[in-house]
Structure 1
Amino acid sequence: MPSEQPAWVRARRELIGARIRDARIQANLSQLELGNRVGVDHKTVHRVEYGTSDPGLGLLLRIARAVDVPLTELVR
């Protein structure tokens, strides 16, 4: 299985990451605070927000709860 994702997957991850970043800022949380709430370090939050990682459903659910936004709004 190739390690490179198609360009559209990367673009979609970046879009979802931007929505997460906007929701985090709206919730008045730093990356460090969000990371503490969801059980990851701030570097992981950064990678999710900038689309360089491929977060699992569990992490996305925890992020959505922490920023008080339905998951469907973040990944639409």
Structure 2
Amino acid sequence: MPRDLPEQIHQQRRDLGERIRVLRSGARKTQEAFAEMTGIDRRTLQRIERGTSDPRFSDLLLIARALEMTVSDLVQE
């Protein structure tokens, strides 16, 4: 179900994915280990980190919990 989104939205999604990747790496977790910690499928996590997928709010909650932060802190610009 493709959507025509403004480029700004695509960029923000990529920025969020990069932030998640950096925080995960800083926590010394591989994608596989992080996926296991969060219960999010590894392929889904890869798409989120690449910014090619819109994460569900529940995914953001799981990611933030695993990183010991709030969703607000996770998505801050």
What is the TM-score when the length of structure 2 is the normalising length?
0.87
- Distance in structure 1 (CA, Å) of the matches to 2:62 and 2:70: 11
Q: Kindly report which structure 2 residues correspond to 1:1-76, keeping only aligned pairs within 5 A, or say none.
A: 3-76=3-76
- Residues 23, 69 of structure 1: 8 Å contact kept: no
- Distance in structure 2 (CA, Å) of the matches to 1:31 and 1:8: 26
- Cα distance, 1:40 vs structure 2: 1.9
Which ranges in structure 2 are unaligned for 5 or more consecutive residues?
none
Percent identity among equivalent residues?
37
C-alpha RMSD over aligned residues: 1.6
Which ranges in structure 1 are unaligned for 5 or more consecutive residues?
none
Which 4+ runs in 1 deviate beyond 6 A?
Answer: none
